[in-house]
Amino acid sequence: MQLEILADENVDFRIIQELRKNNIKVFSVFEEARGLSDTGVLELAKSKDSLILTEDKDFGEWIFSHHISSNGVIFLRYQFSELEEIIKSLMKLLEKPEISVYNKFVVLTKNKIRIRDL
């Protein structure tokens, strides 16, 4: 199964470029569906069988408090000055075949990965 990611509107474009450079299919909300609500992002990702990549912590609330289903979420937490480190951490995560991010809620910082089953 080829990894497909739906990048939320707030994801830095340099992250999207790096993913695409590494042959990961990315649908960018900023490029193709600007202004889409969080629930719209969840629905679109589900229909595309894609993971959500976001910097918006509200997705945790939608999934865990409101019980909205998802194929998986990667939530990036970093300071702007850590952009290069977060890109490296993300690529390392996605390159590990032993770690599946589907049906998981992943919180990724430059130094730590937390993975929770959905």
pTM: 0.92
Domains of the chain, each with CATH number or no CATH: 4-117 (3.40.50)
Percent of the residues in the chain that have a pLDDT greater than 70, as a whole number: 99
What pLDDT score does 3 carry?
Answer: 84
Q: How many helices (H) and strands (E) does the chain have?
A: 5, 6
Q: 61-103 pLDDT, tens per residue?
A: 999 999 998 999 999 999 999 999 999 999 999 988 778 899 9
CB 74 within 8 A of CB 54: yes
